[in-house]
Amino acid sequence: MADILIKDGYIITMDPQRRVFERGSVEIEGDKITAVGKDIEGRADTVIDARGKVVLPGLVNAHTHLSMTLLRGVADDMPLMEWLETKIWPIEKNLTSRDCYLGALLGCLEMIKSGTTCFADLYFFMEDVARAVEEAGLRAMLSYGIIELGDPKRRESELRAGEKLVKTCQGAAGGRIQTMFGPHAAYTCSPECLMQVKELAKKYKVRIHTHISETQDEVDKIVKKYGKRPVEHLDSIGFLGPEVLAAHCVWLTEREIAIIRKQGVKPVHNPVSNMKTASGVAPVPEMLAAGIPVALGTDGAASNNALDMFNEMKFAALLNKVGKLDPTAMPAKSVLEMATINGAIALGLEDRIGSLEVGKKADIVLADLKKPHLAPLHNVMSHLVYSAVGSDVDTTIVDGRILMRNRRVLGIDEDEVLKQVQATSDDLLDRWRAEK
């Protein structure tokens, strides 16, 4: 007998054939999917009636800074470097482990309620973020944000912090938590630091999470310092490779796109953050056309200001259409691929998540189609990208465990988290103001 049977829903598999079942079922035993299709009969301990709902793979947020939920709405309507240097970095100097734990718990709660089941995070006090992820039940790829600014002593301590996370948390929470090394960017990490990261990632057989070419200002800085554009510079020192997860990739030339493809780098598009900071429009259609599996991410809640991947899908489609003045530039299917199977590929988890297939992990979300903004129903995939919002998610399952059902989160005291986060965020800002 199965543990969970999701019956009679509109199934979007995102499998290699991109099969869709207008009325189908998904069977789960333990943490894995054991059957997907039209005629699945049998009994289960838990039966979920999915009539009137769409069943799809859990969404993958391939780039965020989870604990920055504490800074939501604190520093808006500013250019990126001014935002970082006058607000974000000074406030972050006052962060504590408890701050980051509570901020991460809030982020996990927001993602559970909006259909994200797996995310890649790069920030600070990551062992405490891992604790929040384990409690919440999500799947995550965690990395400590290494910023050494060319200082050899700082480099040593930052690399140690990144290595400690890998040693401590790799494979935690029954395998739901994986780790990466997280050098912030080529303008905050020297070539020596980046190459030491490369060696450490190889030693521990983990991936690398970084930012590349987010703004024109970043490009100008790298060109001035190294005589090459960011992707060219990183390629010339031997840093790039298929293990590199590259957030943003906004300011790319055709040559840089070719390098990314050749080296197997995994770009992550962050449309809302890029629009909010006026960083530019990433050449996503060009990268997809080149066969690069571009993933999708929200970035942190300080520059988004949400972690809603449904919202991110809509803006990914719209931004790239208007950027190209071409309504065909980013069809709904391509965007949904970015948020599911491409995200899994970017994290090296495509054999486990990203699609509804027998043998894969049971990371599944159900969204309620019985909503005014989703009626009438003609094209469900289109509705998911252009009409749906995170609050349409009814049920969230990770590793075969139901984290939310009928909009009720089962493992977290939502009211208590909201109360503690408000107090913690207020205290953090008080600490920062006292320091000014």
Domains along the sequence of the chain with CATH = 2-57+360-409 (2.30.40.10), 66-346 (3.20.20.140)
> Is residue 331 reached through a cis peptide bond, with omega within 30 degrees of 0 on the bond before it?
no
211: pLDDT strictly greater than 90? yes
Q: What's residue 123's pLDDT?
A: 97
Asked if 99 and 67 touch (Cβ cutoff 8 Å), the reply is yes
Asked if 56 and 388 touch (Cβ cutoff 8 Å), the reply is no
**Structure tokens given for 252:** 């790319």
Closest CA to 384 of 407, 410, 365, 362: 365
In terms of DSSP H, where are the helices of 277-351?
A: 284-289, 309-324, 332-339, 341-346
Q: How many CB atoms lie within 10 A of CB 367?
A: 27
pLDDT in tens, 95-129: 999 999 999 999 999 999 999 999 999 999 999 99
DSSP bridge pairs for 179: 142
Q: What's residue 37's pLDDT?
A: 96
Q: What's residue 41's pLDDT?
A: 81
Q: Which amino acid is at 221?
A: K
Q: What's residue 80's pLDDT?
A: 82
pLDDT in tens, 251-268: 999 999 999 999 999 999
Query: CA-based angle 347:351:353, to the nearest 5?
Result: 65
DSSP bridge pairs for 198: none
Q: What's residue 169's pLDDT?
A: 98
435: pLDDT strictly greater than 90? no
Mean of the pLDDT values across residues 81-97?
Answer: 93
pTM across the whole model: 0.97
Q: What's residue 81's pLDDT?
A: 85
79: pLDDT strictly greater than 90? no
Q: How far apart are the C-alpha atoms of 67 and 165, rounded to whole Å?
A: 16
Q: How far apart are the C-alpha atoms of 142 and 267, rounded to whole Å?
A: 17
Query: CA-based angle 29:34:38, to the nearest 5?
Result: 125
Mean of the pLDDT values across residues 208-219?
Answer: 97
348: pLDDT strictly greater than 80? yes
Q: 82 or 126, which is more confident?
A: 126
Mean of the pLDDT values across residues 37-62?
Answer: 95
Q: What percent of the chain lies above the pLDDT cut of 70? A: 100
**Structure tokens given for 147:** 């910023």
Mean of the pLDDT values across residues 271-276?
Answer: 97
143: pLDDT strictly greater than 80? yes
The band of 167, judged by pLDDT with boundaries at 50, 70 and 90, is: very high
Q: What's residue 281's pLDDT?
A: 97
58: pLDDT strictly greater than 90? yes
284: pLDDT strictly greater than 90? yes
> What φ, ψ does residue 97 adopt, rounded to 5°?
-60, -40
Q: What's residue 42's pLDDT?
A: 81
Residues making up the chain, counted from first to last: 436
Q: Which residues contact 76 (CB under 8 A, 6 or more apart)?
A: 276, 305
Pairing, β 44-49 against β 244-248: unpaired
Cα distances from 287 to residues 30, 254, 255, 257, in angstroms, run 38, 9, 11, 7
Q: How far apart are the C-alpha atoms of 285 and 293, rounded to whole Å?
A: 11
Q: How far apart are the C-alpha atoms of 418 and 107, rounded to whole Å?
A: 11
Q: Which residues contact 285 (CB under 8 A, 6 or more apart)?
A: 320, 324, 329, 330
Mean of the pLDDT values across residues 307-314?
Answer: 98
Which helix (H) or strand (E) covers residue 23, if one does?
A: strand 20-29
Q: How many CB atoms lie within 10 A of CB 312?
A: 29
Q: How many CB atoms lie within 10 A of CB 423?
A: 10
Counting Cα atoms < 13 Å in the Cβ hemisphere of 85 gives 5
- Helices 414-435 and 97-112: crossing angle in degrees, nearest 10, is 140
Q: How far apart are the C-alpha atoms of 400 and 48, rounded to whole Å?
A: 13
Mean pLDDT rounded to a whole number for the chain: 97
